[in-house]
Amino acid sequence: MKVGTDGTLLGAWAGHTDGGSILDVGTGTGLIALMMAQRFPKAHVVGIDIDAEAVSQARENVAISPFADRIDIQHADFATYPSPLKFNIIVSNPPYFTDALLSPDAQRTVARHAGSRNPFGEVGGGFTYRLLMQRSHDLLCDDGELSVIIPVSEQGRMESEAALAGLFKSRECRVKTAERKPPKRVLLAFRKHPTPLERTELVIGSEEYHKLTKDFYL
């Protein structure tokens, strides 16, 4: 998966406090893991992915970055990831084409389709919102936060799974491609305990957008 607006937005928006320990679920080429390491200089970042080729690419990208000593890329399945520690921040740009036709490209299907098998052919190996929420609840520290970016059409389903897992929405940012158009994406953050909900809106290309992402573009 190439660098895109979704990943850039999530990497620039996700997180709180000083970072601490950070987990990037489905790290792909390592974009979000690298962004989190840049934003949180004291944090240790772990990026996991089920695809071996993606892991190899992410490791190469991390190795040539200034943050190589603080990022650990692991080949792992989030469903069974045996983390020895809890995380202050979990981030994920999850698959969302739940009702779309499967891509003929196996890697792209696993990355973007929530109902696919994983590269090892395991039945039920698809990455689902339920899995993301339940495992994130297990892996977050008590005051930790999970952040995701999804299409607006998937928001209700994502929030339902969060509620079932015992997570509460803490932040929401709806993203538009133009001021007069309806939002296409939404950034969501969840915590283990209820907090006052922060709602914002962002237009791609606006002054607010450039302020949010300026540290990551040449």
In order, the DSSP letters of 48-96 are: EES-HHHHHHHHHHHHTSTTGGGEEEEE--GGG---SS-EEEEEE----
pLDDT of residue 95: 80
Report the number of distinct structural domains present in the chain.
1
Range of 101's domain? 5-216
Low-confidence residues of the chain: pLDDT under 50? 97-125
**Separation between Cα atoms, residue 86 and residue 22, nearest integer Å:** 9
pTM: 0.86
Q: What is the CATH number of the domain that holds 205?
A: 3.40.50.150
Nearest to 13 by CA among 41, 32, 31: 32
pLDDT of residue 7: 94
pLDDT of residue 96: 57
Spatial contact of 101 and 83, defined as CB atoms under 8 Å apart? no
pLDDT of residue 3: 67
